[in-house]
């Protein structure tokens, strides 16, 4: 959707089809729906949103070197850290 390759209706249809496949490593607990929410709210790809959803679910920090992702969420998701700021 973000790259205008899919309409919102088609993207929702694809998400519904994926959910109905019952493929899940973490159980049918809504992780994909949280990913969808992140993708829409922050205009991120499904790939980025999946990392955000998983980090949130696990109460983990997400350390990223992806500047666009970091800039999109840094003010609202304090558990997302820029790699250079990570106290390693």
64 exposure class (CB count in 10 Å sphere: 0-12, 13-18, 19+): buried
Q: pLDDT averaged over consecutive 10-residue blocks of the chain (88 residues)? A: 84 83 61 90 94 94 96 97 86
* The pLDDT of residue 23: 62
pLDDT at position 88, please? 65
């Amino acid at each position: 959707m973000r790259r205008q390759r899919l309409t919102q209706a088609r993207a929702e249809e694809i998400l519904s089809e994926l959910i109905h496949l019952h493929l899940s490593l973490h159980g049918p607990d809504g992780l994909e729906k949280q990913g969808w929410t992140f993708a829409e709210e922050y205009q991120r790809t499904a790939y980025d949103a999946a990392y955000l959803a998983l980090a949130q679910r696990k109460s983990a920090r997400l350390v990223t070197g992806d500047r666009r992702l970091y800039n999109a969420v840094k003010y609202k998701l304090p558990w997302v850290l820029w790699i250079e700021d990570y106290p390693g």
